[in-house]
Structures are given as C-alpha cells and as structure tokens.
Amino acid sequence: MDAAGPEGNAIVVDGLRKSYGALVAVDGISFEVRQGEFFGILGPNGAGKTTTMEMVEGLRRPDAGTVRILGESPWPRNFGLLRRIGIQLQASAFFDKLTAVEQLQTFASLYGADRKAAREMLELVGLGEKANTREDRLSGGQRQRLSIACALVHGPDVVFLDEPTSGLDPQARRNLWDVLESIRSRGKTIVYTTHYLEEAEQLCDRVAIMESGRLLAVDTPADLVAGLDAPTRVLLKAGVIPVDTARAIAGVDGAAEEGGLLTITTSSPGTVLAHLAETTPLDTLQVRTTTLEDVFLHLTGRAYRE
Amino acid sequence: MSAFRSLSIASLKSFLRDRIAVFFSFAFPLIFIVIFGLVFSGSGTGRIEIGLVGEGPVASALESSGAFELRRFDSLPEALNEVEEGEIPAAVAVEGNRVTIRYAASDPAAAATVRGVVEGVVNEVNLRVAGVSPTYQVTARQVEDSTLQPIQFIVPGMMSWGVALGAVFGSAFTLVTWRRKQVLRRLRSAPVGLGVILAARLVATLLIGVVQAVVFIGVGLLPAFGLRLSGQWWLALPVLLLGIVAFFAVGLVIGAVCKTEEATSGVANAIIVPMAFLSGVFFPLDQAPQWMRSVGDFMPLKHMNDGVSAFLVHGQAPEAMAVPLVVLAGFTALMTLVAARLFNWEAG
C-alpha cells in the first residue's frame, strides 16, 4: 500500500481522527486521491475540512489514522516529501513588503528550485503585470492568486489549496477557476477545499462531502447527482397554464404553485418539455436539474448553508 | 540561491522598506547622540570662566596660565554685575600692585579654586620680579583620560543601546508577525529547518547592527561632536557582534511569548528601557548607588557597553574582551534555551 504507481493513488487517508478537547473535529475519515485528479473536499464552515487538510499536509498531528502522500508519511516533517508537495494556506502568508516576484523567488529558493520559475508562475496566475508590486498593494483576488503561485513555484506533484476562492468577488472567482483549470491541465494532483458546492461541481473530478467531521460521500459530482435519482423541476410563471392542466401532462409526477411560480416535477423531462414546447409560450420557462446542494440536502436532511 | 541566502535577503529587504523600523534603528539613537552631545559639549572642559579687569604682569600671567576662560571687562563694577547675575563665579581686578578677587558666595568651590590659582600666579610673578629662583618646584602634567569627554561615553552607550534595541525588535517582531500572518506555518511546509530560518534572520540583524554602529560612530567623529577613537577600536567588533546575537536571542524569547505586535513592543520596551538605565548607557553609573551598580552587573547591555567602550575609546588591552564575551555568550545560550522551550510555529 506504500507504493503509488503511475496510475495509482497519490494520497491515501485512512481512519483520520482529531479532537480538540471535547470537540471532535475530524471523526475517522478515509479516502483516496488518484494521481492527476482534481479532488474537492466540500462542506459548510466548521465541517472539519481545514483540519483534515492540515493533517494530510503534515501541519497537524492526527490523534489516530494514517496519511500517505506519494507513498510517504507527512508526519513528522519529511523534507523529501515537502519538496514534492505545494501548500497554499487560508491566510495569505507573505514576507513583509516584498514584491510579487520577490515572494515567488524567495519561495522558489526555499525549495532549492530555479528562481526563474517565478516569472512563469506570475504569468500562469495572470499577475505578470504585477511582478513589481508589493504584496500589501495587491487586491484580495490578486493576493489569493499569488499565494497559489507560491504553492506551485517549485513544481510540486501534489498541490493543496485551502479555500482558494473564499472571500473573492464573482469576477475574481471566475478568474481563479481559469487558473485552477490550467494547473490541472499540467497534470498536477490537486486537493482543494471549498464551501461553494456549484464551484466544486464544475471544477472537480471527484468530491468528498464533509459534515461535522465525517465524510458523507465520495464520488464524481455526476454520479452523486445521478445516484440521488431526484426528479427534474420545470419552472413556469404562475398562470401560464392551470395547475390541473400541468398535472395531466404525460410524464409529470406533480405540479404546485408557490410564490408566483408553477413548479412541475418530472422523471422524464424530455417528454414534458416537448409537450410544453407545443402548447405553451416558453419565454419564462426554467429547468432545474439536481445539484450537489440537493445531494447535501438528501445526505444530511438539511438545506446547505455556506 | 540557497534558502539561507534568500531568506537573509528577504529579511533585509523587509527591514529596509519598513520606514518605522529604519527610523527606530538609525534616527532614534542618533537623536540622542546629537542631543546629549550638544548638551554636554563644553561641560567636560572643566575650565572656569572668570572676569578680568586691568593690565600688567599679573594679568598676562593669568592669561598664559590657561587655568581659566577669561572674560575682559573695562571696569570692576561691570564684572561684578556679571558675578551677581551668576554668569561667572568670580572676577579679578588688577590695579597697579593690587590684585582684587571678588567671588560669588553661592559657589564656594569655584571661589576657592579661583583664589588658589590667582594667589599662585601672584606669588610666581612676585618671585620673578624679585629675581629669586624658587626652592620648591611643582611639576604638573595632565593624564589623558578620555572619559572626561562626554562624547566618549555617549557614542558607545547610544551605539550599544541602539544596536541592542534593533536586534531585540528585529527578532521579536519577525517571529510575532510571521506567526500571525502564517508565514511561519508556510515555512514549516517548506523543506527548511527552523535553524536556517532563524540564522538567516540573525545574519540580516548582524548586518543592520554593524551599519548602525558605523553610522553612530561616523556622526560622533564629526568635528561638532569630536569623538576620538582609540588605536585598537576594531577590537570592539567581536563584542558588538556577540552583543547583537545575545539581544537577538532576547527578542526570540519575547517573540515566542507574545501574540500581537502591540504586546511585543510593550514587553520589549519594558525590558530594554530599564536595562538601559541600569547599564549606564544614558548616564555613567559612577555616581549611582552601589545597589544599582550591582544590579547593572547582571545586565548584558552593561557588559556589551563596557566591552565596546573598552576598545572604542579607552584603548584597553585585548584581555578586556574576556568578561563581556563570556557574559554575552552565557546570556545567549540561556535565552536561546528559554526561547526553544517556548517557541510555537502556530498561534493558539
């Protein structure tokens, strides 16, 4: 189980557990991350995502359980392994008053890596023009991208990103998604935490859903959604067609009006939409498919709160 | 580039771009050097200024004796007016064969000096006029004692204090800020040992300290202040460097204990300011009570200052290095041990 083959697991986590006094932050979780995979750990704030990450990264000692990254244990500090992983922390950990490129050069040197990589990383995260700007004069989104570049500058095989998109405005988040996609396309294994479910659904190959220190599910977003076998909802402006007419359409499981909207639920959306297209003006029609939020609701019995 | 070198350079850049840090390291001690240097300039010359009225052999002999700063007055009442106002302690009037001394009652010590010197000069002139060679002769020659010049203790004192302050704040603030901003954590996830991280910061501190010392001495050497270095001034360097290391270690303890920059600043000042007074860097402790001098013997700053002064201005033999170096090395070891016990990579 120690060796990770080329197509094998980059990370193997087994029975990880951590308590702070009476509070059980992480309650015995196990999962694997495959080489080259974009793996998301999702859950609301306080679910134990960061503690899990810290134990996997070797920044925190687990009470129980084992972690193997590329076949090696991250605890105690293991310089050989540290060179092969890149860690981005929640806070923006920078040296005081150094410019963007100086931060990257310094971090490159810490890993014995080529300082020339600094410029390339700045381009990768779209900060090429901010090379000579001091970190304290960058915007929140720019700092976030710089901290990701700092985690990548030594060319690690496995990258850990802790809440890289939190606290950013929508535009900055979209920009960052592009950065994350381009990192993935370089063949890195990426483990990242987020509390944005729709973001994870879009970015991740596989996700682990966490709540209260436990893993509720680990799978691809598509399989999680499909496994739920939940109906599709078609939304129409109330009054466009009567509720009873809607109920009578072939393939409709149910229909109800609420808050100015008529919601039709169906397991065969194709049939229903075809019928509606022939009989009804569709300007206001919306289709809601199942999302990870529905999965979360199903798994916990509670609506998802970020 | 090695991790060590790049961390040293990063620390230096952070320092140089921090105007407040640069101010406290350079300008702050310099202000004290300038103020003390100007306040005390002249007070160490020891020459009493007196008024002189009249001409003749006695007046000339008084001038050539160099015992006093002489202020010429046209009449005795004019001179007495100055005495009454406390500007000068005494006035001497020469009228024909009569020499009159009038002195302020408030300054009997100066009066006695003036009277003794004037009587001596008058006796000498009398002997010369009588053509008699004196039976007894006094030969006086001055001993060069640099401590008499205030600038000779002001500069080493302010230098020791300024450099020590810089080292304490440098290491303490680095630890606290890096911990709070999670830089320490980030460094922990890089393949670098804590020793390398701290050694890199220490090298930056040593460089800053040496530049501070050069600036303070350079300003002291300006004609306005008149610092005179002894022939073996460079022997002060080992003491200076080990002093920086010792205070860097003090800063590590403070940085290990404190959580915020505000607390760090408070604790560091609470330690350094009393230590500065007890170590005699602002004022020499010669006049201080015995207990205060005994307490001072436990202060690393006192030993640093003693060691630096010994070579910078007193020109002592290299053996004078022994006690300061041993004390500072012991202090460094003790502080490093305490800091290692208290150190934490993370807050809380």
pLDDT tens readout for residues B83-112: 888 888 889 998 888 888 888 888 888 888
CA distance linking residue A241 with residue A150, whole number of Å: 57
- Predicted local confidence at residue B29, as pLDDT: 92
In this prediction, residue B145 carries a pLDDT of 54
pLDDT tens, B215-240?
999 999 998 888 989 889 999 999 99
Question: Is residue A217 within 8 angstroms of chain B, CB to CB?
Answer: no
Q: How confident is the model at residue A2 (pLDDT cuts 50, 70, 90)?
A: very low
Per-residue pLDDT tens for A266-275? 888 888 888 8
Mean of pLDDT values over B261-277: 95
Tokens of B171: 């290491």
Q: Do B3 and A79 touch (CB under 8 A)?
A: no
User: What whole-number percentage of chain B has pLDDT above 70?
Assistant: 95
Beta-carbon separation of A109 and B182 below 8 A? no
A 228-257 residues with CB < 8 A to B:
none
Q: Is A222:A293 a contact under the CB 8 Å cutoff? A: no
The answer to whether residue A115 neighbours chain B at the CB level (below 8 Å) is: yes
Mean pLDDT of A295-302: 83
Express each pLDDT in A126-176 by its tens digit: 899 999 999 999 998 899 899 999 999 999 999 999 888 887 888 888 888
- The full set of domains in chain B, from first to last, is 2-40+149-342 (no CATH), 48-130 (3.40.1710.10)
User: Which pLDDT does position B148 carry in this prediction?
Assistant: 56
Model pLDDT, residue B278: 93
The ipTM estimated for the assembled molecules is 0.83
**Residue B129 touches chain A, beta carbons under 8 Å:** no
Best of A77, A94, A95, A116 to disrupt the B interface by mutation (most B CBs within 10 Å)? A95
Count of CB atoms situated within 10 Å of the CB of A153: 27
> Quick check: A179 and A124 in contact, CB under 8 A?
yes
**Secondary structure string (H, E, C) spanning chain B:** CCHHHHHHHHHHHHHHCCHHHHHHHHHHHHHHHHHHHHHHCCCCCCCEEEEEECCCHHHHHHHHHCCEEEEEECCHHHHHHHHHCCCCCEEEEEECCEEEEEECCCCHHHHHHHHHHHHHHHHHHHHHHHCCCCCCCCCCCCCCCHHHCHHHHHHHHHHHHHHHHHHHHHHHHHHHHHHHCCHHHHHHCCCCCHHHHHHHHHHHHHHHHHHHHHHHHHHHHCCCCCCCCCCCHHHHHHHHHHHHHHHHHHHHHHHHHCCCHHHHHHHHHHHHHHHHHHCCCCCCHHHCCHHHHHHHCCCHHHHHHHHHHHHHCCCCCHHHHHHHHHHHHHHHHHHHHHHHHHCCCCCC
- pLDDT of amino acid A3: 45
pLDDT bin (cut points 50, 70, 90) of residue A283 is: confident
Round to whole Å and give the CA distance between B26 and B49: 37
Chain A hits for B188, Cβ within 8 Å: 59, 77
Nearest CB partner across the interface for A98, out of B14, B185, B191: B14
Contact B13 A98 (CB under 8 A): yes
B323: left (phi over 0), alpha (psi -120 to 50) or beta: alpha
Is 90 exceeded by the pLDDT of residue A291?
no
Amino acid type, B184: L
- What pLDDT, in 10s, does the model give residues B143-157? 555 445 788 889 999
What number of C-beta contacts closer than 8 Å exist between A and B? Answer: 75
CA-based end-to-end distance of chain A: 36
Which residues of chain B have a CB within 8 Å of the CB of A105? 1, 6
Reported confidence tier of residue A233, pLDDT bands at 50, 70, 90: confident
Q: Examine the pLDDT at A100 and tell me if it is beyond 60.
A: yes
Higher-confidence residue of A56 and A245: namely A56
Burial of B19 (0-12, 13-18, 19+ CB in 10 A): exposed
pTM confidence score: 0.80
At residue B144, the pLDDT reads 53
Q: Does A54 touch chain B (CB under 8 A)?
A: no
Q: What is the mean pLDDT of residues B325-329?
A: 97
Band (pLDDT 50/70/90 cuts) for residue A4 is very low
Residue of A nearest to B184 (CA): A93
- Measured between beta carbons, the chain B residues lying within 8 angstroms of A109 are 1-3, 5-7
What is the predicted pLDDT for the residue at A108? 96
Tens-digit pLDDT profile for residues B158-216: 999 999 999 999 999 999 999 999 999 999 999 999 999 999 999 999 999 999 999 99
CA distance A136 to A117: 22
Q: Can you give the pLDDT at residue A91?
A: 65
Closest-CA residue of B relative to A101 is: B10
Region B230-257: mean pLDDT is 96
| Mean pLDDT value across chain B | 90
E strands, A64-114, are: 64-69, 85-88
Beta-bridged to residue A69, according to DSSP, are: A11, A72
B221 burial (CB, 10 Å; 0-12 / 13-18 / 19+) is middle
Q: In B, which residues are within 8 Å of A79 by CB distance?
A: 191
B345 → chain A, closest CA residue: A59
Nearest CA in chain A to B16: A97
CA-based radius of gyration for chain B: 28
Q: How many residues does chain A have?
A: 306
Strands A232-237, A286-288: pairing is antiparallel
- State yes or no: pLDDT of A1 exceeds 60: no
Cβ–Cβ < 8 Å for A52, A191? no
